[in-house]
Structure 1
Amino acid sequence: MSATPSEAEVAGSRPVEQRRPDPAAAVPARHRARPAGDRVALLLGAFVAVATPLVAAADLAVPGRALLALAFVLTVPGVPLAVLLRVPDRLLRGALAVALSVAVTLLTAALQVVTGWWSPVGFAVGTAAVSLVATVVALREMPRAGPRSPGGARSAGAHAAAGSPDWERPAAVVGLVAALGLWWPATRWLELDDAGPLGVIGVAGWPYVVALALVGLVAARQLLRPVLDGAVLAATAVVLAVVLFGFANVGDGQAGVSVGWLHVGFIRFMTEQQATFAGLDARAYWPGFFAAGAHLVELAGLPDASALLTLSPAVFNVAAIAPLLVVARCVTGSRRLAWLAVFVYLTANWFQQDYFAPQAVAFLLYLVVLATLLWSVTSGGTTPLAGPWYRRALTAWRRRPALPAGVSAGRSLAWEAALLLIAAAIVVSHQLTPATLVFALMVFVLTGSTRFRRLWLLVALLFLGWFSYMATDFWVGHLSTVLGDLGQLNSNLTSAVSARVGLDSDPVYDAMQNVRLGWSVLYALAGLAGWWTIRHRPGAPLLAGLTVCAGGLVLFGSYGGEVVLRSFVFAAPLLASLAALALRGLVRHRSPVALALLAVLLTGAALMLTATRGVNIAFERVSAGDLAAARVVAEELQPGQVVGTLQATGALGADRVGESVPLDMSEAGCGLSPLRCALVERPDFIVVSRTQDALGQLREGRPAGWTTEIADELVDRGLYTVVHEGGGATVLRAAEQGG
């Protein structure tokens, strides 16, 4: 047994290769699609396609109905379509299956809203019919399984574990189960009411730390094995995603991020009204995600979409693992470094754009498109360019990559059509992602790294067409809003970074924000260092261009102060892959010292993710008290009444969307102090809560209990009465409304 991983596994010697590869090596044997596996996937997909509409049409309250509906959205009709596309790489094939299924759901749901033909069950039946026809065709075209070779009886896992002790895999499983066993009580003991300026990391507790250490140890051991065990690495990545991204929500008992609850309200509106919420919010003009959410709620037999919130961050990060692994393999040229990139990505993704929101779904689709294009150019190869750098830069766009081995021009065209379908779903679901996708597609064209040379133009036309005709009511009369930040680099950066911390904010909270900034800078520098090691290789301009085009979003607008976060999100798959190249020395040698060092670094990175992601948990969370207060307001509210909040937190948007007038009573929102705003504006209801109090303390330097003091003064003056109090939230109603 070799004590050191082979150089081919760690050197990343041929990232985004620019040559014609050996056909036999175009796809590693472990990643080639297997007819038996495809056949099982097709049959399971057919079962889901038949069962889901039947259960929904009969409205059967059967156990697992929600999971069945979710499986429908994720597999129908994508599984048979992906099999028919015959993508050789099974990871990419699986990612495409999910992306195509989600894209079809987004497009058909948006079509229902636009046309007024609202019938989730009816459209599900149509989608299922298409899927079943595609399944029959795929099964007929599938080659029959031949006799097994003597080595064929061994499972892929047995091959992966070759040359390692028999106890390695069971030991890894025990370690992961123990980590989950510690994580669960850690969520039960988590007291986010006590979270202060340190955020989640200040209240996490030792079981959570030990759980992360166990996962880090298992990951380190697996990354240093002579022969990688893909199944265990995948399980480790999934467990890490659940532990990191499910901790706060599961521990708190409900999903954080107020905007997620607003999305629940939008979906509830569409379910009840069977129409879009246009005129109430700008997001209504990109209805794909919300219509698909309403579609899923009806198929699943759920009362609303709130059940989908808690685990959304963990689910989205788990779903990103397969396409991310494809991207990282293409960038690094190494399975070992690709898996390292996955762990880098998971421990650096603090940006919290993976909650129940359109951008999370759109980013996942974007990632699959990116993975497909990178895999295509890596597998097909391109003609090397000659001459000085400026001549190579000017002539690169003229070349065209070769087809991957065994792929016909017709099949390549089908792949392009599939990518266009996914892009169309992105266009109808999110404002920013289509622009990023167009820029990325242009980079592929300008570097001569794609055969799909017109795809960028088709996506751009779809984007402009939708924006011009379907979002007319949004931009007509608001061009200054749409174009006002264009090219304003300094102001866009200021709104995204500097403006997030006030002059009077808590000093510890300020320090934690700087930790966030430092962690992001370190992430970017690691990516830059990795790129520097391959800067002379033919694929380097493509990778640089893709990363820079994500960062270039800051030139186009502040996007509500989140443009820097969105830039990092889009650049993250490439940054993680390039960072893995910079960190290749960590997995080069196999020794107890190397194992301990890597385990400590992975655990430290996971703790850093917990710290940076959870800094704002004191006010970003939606507590049980916030939910109870929102329900009371929904029950008491009369259409047209004004509901004020001292700070913009809570879950007031989760119900009765459009029936109330929200009033932001903060000094920034009202132009007056919160108390003065209450006296002048006299809203019908005022909601105060612990989360609002925390926001004022951390960002504005207010004393603890300041919200309670304002509520008490309004009540003492006889202007308001208390209609609900509990769980750290209070609802006040104007005295003249009390009858």
Structure 2
Amino acid sequence: MSRTALLSRSPALPCGLVLACAGIAGAATFAAATDLGGGLVRMAVVVAMMSSTPGIPLVALLRLPNRAIALMLGISASWATWLLISLWQVTAGWWAPVPCAAAVTTVSVAAAAFSVRTGAAPAASVPLTTRLRRARYRWDRPRGVAAALLCGAVTLGWWETRVIDLDATGAYGLIGVVTWRLPLALGAVGSAFGIAVGRRRLDQPVAFAALAILVCLLYQLVAISDGNPVVGTGFVHVGFIDYIGTAHRLPPSVDARFSWSGFFDAAAVLVELTGLADAGPLLLWAPAVLTAFVALPVFIIARLITGGTRLAWVSMAIYVCGNWFQQDYFSPQAIAFVMHLSIVATLLWWLRAAPFPPLEGGLAHRASTMLIRLPGLPPHIGRRQALLLESLLLFIATAMVVSHQLTPVLTIITVTLLAVVGSLRQRCLPVAIGIVFVVWLSYGAPDYWTGHLQVLLGDFGKVTGSLQTGLGDRFSGAQQYQRMQLVRIAWSGGLAVLAGIGWLCYRRNRSALAVGVLLVAPFTLIIGQSYGGEIVLRCFFYALPVMAPLAAVCLFRLYRWILGHIRVLGRSPAAPVLVLTAAVWSAAMLGMTTRGLNTAFERNPADLVGAARALLTTVPDGTTLLPSGSEGVLKLGRLTTVVRPQSSTCNAWTVECVDAFGADYILISTSQQADLELRRAAPPGWLYDFADQLVDQGRYQIVERTRHALVLARKEQG
């Protein structure tokens, strides 16, 4: 596809979409003010409001020439608005979610009306009935086959959630317990995707549906089977949000994450507007929903890098299957990641669309030219629009700064490196974001950095130490589990190698330097800090949206090379379909294997969550609980009224440790037992044997026993 076709002006945000956003905001505000309705419908309407207003109506006024970019920025701007408004409510001590929603609705309605009146959001020139008739979906045989395959995949996936025995999960993770149904479902999805993308006429609706079902199969299987989310940290966030929603202020210095409380403040507002008792119902489908939001900037980046829509869909499949990092749960980093990618996609689009002086001459001349060259303005973008767009990117980055500690650092590094290689027109942007970051660190998080200065600076420059904690320390525990960790590393490492080769194939493109910066920038975080041993994982997570399209470029070149040497394959119209089917199925199996490796100790069965809720509901204030950091469900609530030890307390279960802490209640689970067996090579059943020892010695008594949980209460010593 030519650059002109790729970057041609697309229609502005349509009138119907802008007015619909304003209408959704009005409906959500009315429902919250009158406490009308409830359940999933009201929750969906409020989430839609916070994801679309006021950003989409306001961005429509910018008249951006690319509809996808405008929609992406509208979503991120809406989130940024709610993050900052919610933060202001908490810090200013004026808790008023409904009046704030009314103010946002008023602004959205005014912006929508103005954009329609001025033509910023043009009405359709063709009647709706005519457009629907033209867009009618034609069911030819390949589409019918693909639809049948997807229906079969959904049926098999749901059947799998009913029959899978997650209690049998061990060192091999999910791949060791799935039945024939899930691989067959993944094969059906791969076949449907191959038909949609591999046939002569690209079928984007089927490709979208196939990837949506693939996300559900890979990301939601365990959660749907257990009825609860997989990552226990989400329950910790529920406890944070519950405190803010009840007290309407931040708690004392109980957790460093409250120094970046924007996400928790906005989630508390969301809970009040939806009428939910707590944020628990938001957790179950969060991975799929947040992946849907991240898909738009990832697809834009992929299309800009690969130069075509077909390879962009292949890139999306690689992204979905390669994302085993479990960072898409209900968390600040998931929201900040979408906003970061929105900034990256916008800057990359700007670079591809604008006039751009090439680098010529010798190495010294190229280096000097690179430092001073400046991209021009894209077509249909004036200087005023450019300034407003830069201000919008700074606004989104500001909301990131107050919500997450790591993602804004990556944003600053990325835009700075883009400026260094002469691929950024907005030269003030990295400076402005850096100033906001320093100001917030000084104002909003002084308690954290003054008390953890050694932690912040102690790892700086220690790349070997960060790699050791991020990679080397993962090779501990059961030998089978260690071997499965190698599969994870090999899968991500293989994608990185393919991305590197893809960049070499891409290097003659005029935006190659910028794409190289986007690929490398996440890995510079290793220089700064180990981030609790997770920095290597975060680097691959942040780099995956760029790795995926570059890997797709590499695989496409390889496929073309094979066709050139095997002419029989090249003459077969079914060859692309078969190759894509096999490739997607193989990648999906690897995705299931790597993402589901920790299922044994990451899952949260319903009876375990129920036991934790019952315990937190009944114990009096001042009660001490064990364990601390290893059981997120124990932090569902009662953030300041029950006593929990530091996360390092009782990392090794001993009678002496339990006596020293003096816990009133101990919650033991099969997930904790699996963690000890797999990551610390403890004997099977050791933790429950230890609980029996405490009971036999008369220290504790059993007050509740379920299939996955055991609650012990301390006996009064006479």
Aligned counterpart, 1:44: 20
SS of residue paired to 1:354:
coil
1:454-469 matches, within 5 Å, as: 454-469=428-443
Per-residue deviation, 1:261: 0.4
Q: Percent identity?
A: 36
- Which residue of structure 2 aligns with residue 698 of structure 1? 678
Query: What are the residue-to-residue correspondences of 1:516-531 with 2, within 5 Å?
Result: 516-531=488-503
Which residue is equivalent to 2:702? Answer: 722
Secondary structure of 1:655's counterpart equals: coil
Cα displacement (A) at 1:231: 2.5
Q: CA deviation at 1:34?
A: 5.5
| Per-residue Cα deviation, 1:13-52 (whole angstroms, up to 9, x for no partner) | x7xxxxxx65xx46357xx2256xx111122112111111
Aligned equivalents of 2:666, 2:445: Cα separation in 1: 33
**Amino acid across the alignment from 2:679:** R
Structure 1: distance between partners of 2:274 and 2:628 = 37
2:341 matched to 1:367?
yes
Could you list the per-position Cα deviations for residues 236-256 of structure 1 after superposition, in whole angstroms to 9, with x for gaps in the alignment? 222222222111111111011
Partner of 1:343: 317
Deviation per residue, 1:163-188 (Å, 9 max, x gap): xx833333333322221122111112
Cα shift at 1:538 = 2.9
Query: In 1, Cα distance between the equivalents of 2:379 and 2:293?
Result: 28
SS in 1 for 2:630: coil
Task: Give the TM-score taking structure 2 as reference length.
Answer: 0.94
Change in Cα spacing, 1:26 to 1:618, as seen in structure 2 (3 Å) is closer
Is 1:270 aligned with 2:244?
yes
- TM alignment of 1:125-140, pairs within 5 A: 125-140=102-117
Task: Tell me the equivalent position of 1:83.
Answer: 60
Structure-2 residue corresponding to 1:578 = 550
The alpha-carbon distance between structure 1 residues 155 and 623, as it changes in their structure 2 partners (threshold 3 A), is same
Determine whether 1:309 maps to 2:283.
yes
> Please, which of 25, 45, 70 is the counterpart of residue 93 of structure 1?
70
Q: After TM superposition, list the pairs within 5 Å mapping 1:105-120 onto structure 2.
A: 105-120=82-97
- In the alignment, which residue of structure 2 is the partner of 1:491? 465
| The 10-residue stretch of structure 1 (184-193 or 278-287) with the greater mean CA deviation from structure 2 | 184-193
Which residue does the alignment assign to 2:11? 33
Per-residue deviation, 1:119: 1.1
Superposed, which structure 2 residues align to 1:527-538 within 5 Å?
527-538=499-510
Compared with structure 1, are the counterparts of its residues 90 and 239 closer, same or farther at alpha carbon in structure 2 (3 Å cutoff)?
A: farther
**Structure 1 residue 624 corresponds to structure 2 residue 616:** no
Instruction: Compute the displacement of 1:664 (Å).
Output: 6.6
Residue 497 of structure 1: how far off its partner (Å): 1.3
Aligned to 1:56: 32
Compared CA separation, residues 587 and 117, structure 1 to 2 (3 A): farther
* Superposed CA offset, 1:645-686 (max 9, x none): 298134101110122232379xx6447643331233332211
Q: Which amino acid aligns with 1:566?
A: R
Structure 2 CA distance for partners of 1:482 and 1:279, relative to 1, 3 Å: same
The alignment status of 1:169 with 2:149, answered yes or no, reads no
Q: Which residue of 1 aligns with 2:308?
A: 334
CA distance in 2, matches of 1:204, 1:105: 41
What SS does structure 2 have at the residue aligned with 1:608? helix
Counterparts of 2:338 and 2:234 in 1: how far apart (Å)?
17
User: Which amino acid in the other structure matches residue 42 of structure 1?
Assistant: V
Structure 2 match to 1:601: 583
8 Å CA contact 2:198–2:580 kept in 1: the answer is no
CA RMSD between the two structures: 2.3
Q: Is the 8 A contact 2:474 2:482 kept in 1?
A: no
Residue in 1 that maps onto 2:688: 708
Structure 2 CA distance for aligned equivalents of residues 523 and 633 of structure 1: 45
Match of 2:254 in 1: 280
> Any stretches of 5+ residues in structure 1 without a counterpart?
1-7, 9-13, 15-20
Please say if residues 350 and 612 of structure 1, whose CA atoms lie closer than 8 Å, have aligned partners that are also in contact.
Answer: yes
Alignment deviations for residues 123-179 of structure 1 (CA, whole Å, 9 cap, x no partner): 111111111111111111227658659xx8587857x98xxx833333333322221
Give 2:350's match in structure 1, choosing from 372, 376, 392.
376
Give aligned pairs, total.
Answer: 705
Amino acid of the structure 2 residue aligned with 1:732: L
Counterpart contact for 1:619–1:691, Cα < 8 Å: yes
Structure 2 residue corresponding to 1:65, chosen from 23, 26, 42? 42
Whether the aligned pair in 1 keeps the contact of 2:628 and 2:644 (CA below 8 Å) is: no
Instruction: Give the letter aligned to residue 661 of structure 1.
Output: V
Q: Structure 1, residues 379-399: CA drift from partner, whole Å, max 9, x if none?
A: 113011211234323321312
Partner secondary structure for residue 645 of structure 2: strand
User: Partners of 2:557 and 2:539 in 1: how far apart?
Assistant: 28
1:172 aligns to what SS in structure 2? helix
1:538-617 matches, within 5 Å, as 538-585=510-557, 591-617=573-599
Q: Distance in 2 between matches of 1:515 and 1:47?
A: 49
> 1:310-360: per-residue Cα shift (whole Å, max 9, x none)?
111111112111111110111111221111111111110001111111000
CA contact (8 A) 1:327 1:374 kept: yes
Contact 2:325 2:537 (8 Å CA) reproduced = yes
Q: Structure 2 CA distance, aligned partners of 1:512 and 1:155?
A: 52
Question: Are 1:449 and 2:423 an aligned pair?
Answer: yes
TM-score (norm 1): 0.91
Amino acid corresponding to residue 465 of structure 1 in structure 2: V
- Cα distance between partner residues in 2 of 1:329 and 1:289: 30
Which residue identity does 1:321 align to in structure 2? A
Distance 2:709 2:192 in 1: 43
Are 2:657 and 1:657 aligned? no
Match of 2:328 in 1: 354
Q: SS where residue 661 of structure 1 aligns?
A: coil
Partner of 2:567: none
Q: Is the 8 A contact 2:196 2:207 kept in 1?
A: yes
Q: Residue 65 of structure 2 contacts residue 380 of structure 2 at CA under 8 Å; is this kept in 1? A: no
2:519–2:543 contact (8 Å) kept in structure 1: yes
1:735 corresponds in structure 2 to: 715
Q: Describe the superposition over 1:241-280 as per-residue Cα deviations: whole angstroms up to 9, x where unpaired.
A: 2222111111111011111100000000111111112401
Question: Counterparts of 1:129 and 1:376 in 2: how far apart (Å)?
Answer: 32
Extract unaligned runs of 5+ from structure 2.
561-569
Conserved in 2, the CA contact under 8 Å of 1:619 and 1:695? yes
Return the offset for 1:498: 1.4
Cα separation, 2, equivalents of 1:93 and 1:212: 34
Per the TM alignment, residue 625 of structure 1 is displaced from its structure 2 partner at its CA by: 2.7
- Tell me: CA distance 1:153–1:292, structure 2 relative to 1, closer, same or farther (3 Å): closer
- Give the direction of change, closer, same or farther, for the CA distance of 1:157–1:733 in structure 2 (3 Å limit): same
